[in-house]
């Protein structure tokens, strides 16, 4: 008679595996439950904290940033929705919403001057003027958060880094490498000449002029033929920070 | 902020490219708008009625940034004012421009209101231009041709009657408010 070796063994093994699996699932469940509980505790403590320090959070940008970082660590986004606990607690959604609206206003108002690109610091200064607040009360971080919210709304706003600065783009114009290079070069004096561009990047005159003329057509540059050396200068309003503003020193 | 006398200059005045006529349409439109507004505001605050393109006009150059408007640029900006009725060329060669920082219609209204508020009935032209009653008001020093046109407008509406006195100096106007 042939014995079927191991079927029972196999069945056993299967049963054991199942049992282990159940135990494993339980353990996982327990762990998850514990974690959920810990998270819930943490969240309610965070809410308590937010309630207590509501006014500090509104007034102090450094505090605000640290609060955001704390929230991020536990996977809480106080700006995720304008309804619900967080918005009611802090009105913080309102703060960024309002900021976003003001940012849009300023970008639209300055578009005909700078072609839809504005230096972030310049934007901050103009925002502070608008809000009649000091430069210190509105941090770069605040602006970046408000803009990222705008981005989520699909409004085409974006922050790009060019050279040493951050520029806020409010038009769909894409900048290629040649253009970004020129913008970065222009940050030194606010303008460039064809000669400077050629020299800096070792480009042909044609390539330099092409890039500059495109930037001109996009409204990002303005020409200046008034210098006594007779050389045409291409000025870039988006890298010139306005000096006629109230507020503190540039960061 | 920079000043020209007691006049506060706007930020764009210190940005060199605004002194060069911009080739890109949208940028040019912005530039023209800024200069149009500046010219009107400046002339109104300084009570300047005419601009001569052949003389230096302090608004058309900024020594601080070593930039000046070209003749062409000046013409473009003034022509823009002319086409919206805020200025008029005084000669065919476009060398002198009358700046109507108030339109003739606006001057007419100003005069009628002034006359009403002050209970005046008859005034000579010179009194309106340089008399005690108008001192400190916008009527003080008003360009004669502008004043006459405003008065004629009022005449057409039956609110005034211009009459000549015994001499040219006595030209006057009677208001019927």
B34 to chain A nearest CA, in Å? 11
Shortest CA gap A146–chain B (Å): 28
CA distances from B129 to A66, B98, B125, B133, B134 (A): 67, 17, 6, 10, 7
Q: What is the pLDDT of residue A245?
A: 33
Mean pLDDT of all residues in B109-132: 89
pLDDT in tens, B152-174: 999 999 999 998 877 766 789 99
> Given pLDDT bands bounded at 50, 70 and 90, which one contains residue A202?
very high
d(CA A59, CA A54): 9
In the structure, what pLDDT confidence band is assigned to residue A155 with cuts at 50, 70 and 90? low
B2 part of contact set with chain A, CB < 8 Å: no
- Kindly list the residues from chain B whose CB atom is less than 8 angstroms away from the CB atom of residue A224: 16-17, 19-20, 67
The full set of domains in chain B, from first to last, is 3-99 (1.10.10.570), 104-175 (1.10.10.10)
Q: Output the pTM of the full model.
A: 0.72
What count of other Cβ atoms lies within 10 Å of the Cβ of residue A68?
Answer: 19
The verdict on residue A202 lying in a domain is: yes
CA distance A237 to A239: 5
pLDDT exceeds 70 at position A240? yes
Task: Give the 3-state secondary structure of residue B138.
Answer: coil
What's the gap in Å between the CA of A149 and the closest CA on chain B?
30
Rounded to whole angstroms, the Cα distance separating A77 from A68 reads 8
The answer as to whether A223 is a domain residue is: yes
Shortest CA gap B22–chain A (Å):
7
Q: Are the beta carbons of B1 and A235 separated by less than 8 Å?
A: no
Cα torsion B24, B25, B26, B28 to 10°: value is 80
- Write the DSSP symbol of residue A251: -
Look at residue A21 and tell me whether its pLDDT is greater than 50: yes
> Which residues on neighbouring strands pair with residue B163, listed in sequence order?
B172
Confidence band for A248, pLDDT divided at 50, 70 and 90: very low
Mark yes or no for CB contact B27/A112 under 8 Å: yes
Instruction: Let me know: does B61 contact B69? Beta carbons within 8 Å.
Output: yes
Q: What is the pLDDT of residue B89?
A: 95
Q: b or e along B60-71 (b: 16 or more beta carbons within 10 Å of the residue's beta carbon)?
A: bebeebebebee
pLDDT the model gives residue B29: 95
B67 touches chain A (CB under 8 A): yes
Q: How far is CA B149 from CA A193, B104, B152, B153, in A?
A: 51, 7, 5, 6
- Closest CB to B68: pick one of A113, A223, A226: A226
3-state secondary structure of A67: helix
In a domain, A182, yes or no: yes
Taking an 8 Å cut-off on Cβ atoms, the answer to whether A224 and B20 are in contact is yes
Taking all residues of chain B, what is their mean pLDDT, rounded to a whole number? 91
Mean pLDDT of B96-121: 92
> What average pLDDT score do residues A177-194 get?
94
Nearest to A244 among B1, B22, B26 (CB): B1
In this prediction, residue A153 has a pLDDT band, given cuts at 50, 70 and 90, of low
Contact A222 B17 (CB under 8 A): yes
Please say whether the beta carbons of B128 and B174 come within 8 A: no
Residue A66 lies in a domain: no
Q: What is the per-residue pLDDT for A10?
A: 73
Is there a contact between A224 and B24 if contact means CB atoms under 8 Å apart? no
pLDDT above 90: percentage of residues in chain B: 66
pLDDT digits (tens, 9 = 90+) for A58-98: 778 887 888 787 777 766 666 665 445 555 555 566 788 78
Helix axes A92-114, A120-131, angle to 10 degrees: 120
pLDDT recorded at residue B147: 93
The helix (run of H) or strand (run of E) holding residue B123 is strand B122-124
Judge whether A40 lies within some domain: no
Q: What was the pLDDT predicted at A70?
A: 75
Please give the pLDDT value at position A235.
Answer: 96
> What burial class does residue B7 get, using C-beta atoms within 10 Å of its C-beta: 0-12 exposed, 13-18 middle, 19+ buried?
middle
**Domain-located, residue A29:** no
Full domain range(s) for residue A234? 174-241
Q: Which residue has 């700006």 as its token pair?
A: A79
Once rounded to an integer, what is the mean pLDDT over residues B70-75? 95
Q: How much is the average pLDDT of A183-201?
A: 95
Cβ–Cβ gap A113/B20 under 8 Å? no
For B24, the closest of A216, A227, A233 (CB atoms) is A216
Task: Assess B64–A contact: CB distance below 8 Å, yes or no.
Answer: no
Out of B11, B22, B67, the one facing A222 most closely (by C-beta) is B22
Q: Is the pLDDT of residue B2 over 70?
A: no
- Please state the domain count of chain A: 1
Q: What is the pLDDT of residue A250?
A: 31
CB nearest A219 (choices: B12, B24, B67): B24
Query: pLDDT of A98-123, one tens digit each?
Result: 888 899 899 988 988 898 999 999 99
pLDDT at residue A86, rounded to an integer: 55
Supply the ipTM of this predicted assembly.
Answer: 0.84
Burial-class residue A177 by CB neighbours within 10 Å (0-12, 13-18, 19+): exposed
> Rounded distance, CA B24 to CA B31, Å?
10
Pairwise CB contact (< 8 Å): A237 & B15:
yes
Nearest to B12 by CA among B2, B24, B25, B4: B2
CB A159 within 8 A of CB A167: yes
Q: Give the chain B residue whose CA is nearest to the CA of A226.
A: B67
Share of chain A above pLDDT 90, in %: 35
Higher local confidence (pLDDT), B41 or B134:
B41
CATH of the domain at A189: 1.10.10.10
pLDDT (mean) for B18-45: 95
Domain membership of residue A168 (yes or no) is no
- Tell me if A44 is assigned to some domain: no
Q: Who's near A113: CB < 8 A, 6+ residues apart?
A: A237, B12, B30
Residue A246 is predicted with a pLDDT of: 29
Average pLDDT in chain A: 80
Question: Mean pLDDT, to the nearest integer, of A116-135?
Answer: 91
Structure-token pair, residue A38:
């810990």
- Report the gap between the CA of B112 and the closest CA in chain A (Å): 38
């Amino acid at each position: 008679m042939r014995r079927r070796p191991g079927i029972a063994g196999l069945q056993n093994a299967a049963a054991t595996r199942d049992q282990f699996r159940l135990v494993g699932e339980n353990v996982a469940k327990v762990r998850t439950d514990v974690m959920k509980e810990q998270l819930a505790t943490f969240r309610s403590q965070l809410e308590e904290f937010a309630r207590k320090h509501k006014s500090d959070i509104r007034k102090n940008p450094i505090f605000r940033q640290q609060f955001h970082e704390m929230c991020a660590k536990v996977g809480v986004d106080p700006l995720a929705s304008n309804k619900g606990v967080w918005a009611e607690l802090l009105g913080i959604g309102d703060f960024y919403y309002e900021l976003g609206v003001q940012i849009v206003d300023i970008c639209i108002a300055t578009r005909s001057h700078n072609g839809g690109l504005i230096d972030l610091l310049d934007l901050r200064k103009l925002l502070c003027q608008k809000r009649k607040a000091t430069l210190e009360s509105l941090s770069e971080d605040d602006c970046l958060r408000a803009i990222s919210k705008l981005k989520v709304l699909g409004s085409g706003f974006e922050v790009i880094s060019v050279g040493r600065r951050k520029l806020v783009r409010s038009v769909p114009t894409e900048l290629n490498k040649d253009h970004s290079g020129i913008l970065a070069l222009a940050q030194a004096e606010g303008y460039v000449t064809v000669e400077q561009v050629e020299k800096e990047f070792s480009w042909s005159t044609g390539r330099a002029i092409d890039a500059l003329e495109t930037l001109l057509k996009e409204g990002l540059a303005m020409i200046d033929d008034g210098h006594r050396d007779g050389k045409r200068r291409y000025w870039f309003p988006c890298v010139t920070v306005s000096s006629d503003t109230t507020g503190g020193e540039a960061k | 902020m920079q000043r020209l006398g007691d006049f506060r200059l706007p930020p764009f005045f210190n940005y060199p490219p605004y002194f060069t006529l911009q080739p890109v349409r949208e940028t040019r439109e912005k530039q023209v708008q800024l200069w149009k507004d500046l010219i009107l505001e400046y002339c109104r605050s300084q009570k300047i009625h005419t601009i001569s393109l052949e003389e230096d006009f302090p608004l058309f150059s900024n020594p601080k940034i070593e930039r000046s408007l070209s003749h062409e640029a000046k013409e473009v900006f003034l022509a823009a004012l002319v086409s919206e009725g805020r200025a008029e060329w005084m000669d065919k060669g476009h060398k002198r421009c009358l700046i109507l920082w108030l339109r003739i219609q606006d001057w007419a209204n100003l005069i009628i209101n002034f006359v009403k508020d002050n209970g005046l009935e008859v005034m000579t032209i010179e009194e309106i231009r340089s008399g005690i009653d108008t001192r400190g008001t916008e009527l003080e020093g008003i360009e004669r041709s502008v004043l006459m046109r405003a008065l004629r407008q009022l005449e057409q509406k039956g609110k005034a009657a211009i009459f000549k006195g015994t001499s040219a100096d006595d030209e006057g106007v009677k208001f019927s408010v």
